[in-house]
Amino acid sequence: MVLVSDNLNTYMYEAFPPEKAGALAKRLEMHHTPKHGNWLDIAGIEINMVTTQCLNRRIDTIETLRDELSVWENDRNKVPKAIDWQFSLMMRRLN
């Protein structure tokens, strides 16, 4: 099982007896989201990229889909990416 953690505390040991919590933890593949920045926006950007760059056509078989996604993923991961977060403050004059 894959668990995507949003860096909040995980309370498995409070929800389950220690032996059950430990057995569950061993079955999990943990993926932690970034501590800073909006990880959901980052995920949305990546989904948009794979959709426009790889999945912008009909793919007939699951095998072809897996092959295409694998090639796209390998190419995408070769060059480090960064998100350039830019924020602006909107000032409102109060009367």
* 3-class SS of residue 29: strand
Task: Give per-residue pLDDT as tens, 43-72.
Answer: 888 888 899 988 888 999 999 999 999 999
Phi then psi for residue 88, to 5 deg, are: -130, 145
Tokens 């790889």 -> residue: 54
pLDDT for position 62? 94
Task: Give per-residue pLDDT as tens, 4-28.
Answer: 776 555 667 778 888 988 888 888 8
Nearest to 54, CA basis, from 64, 43, 44, 68: 68
pLDDT for position 87? 62
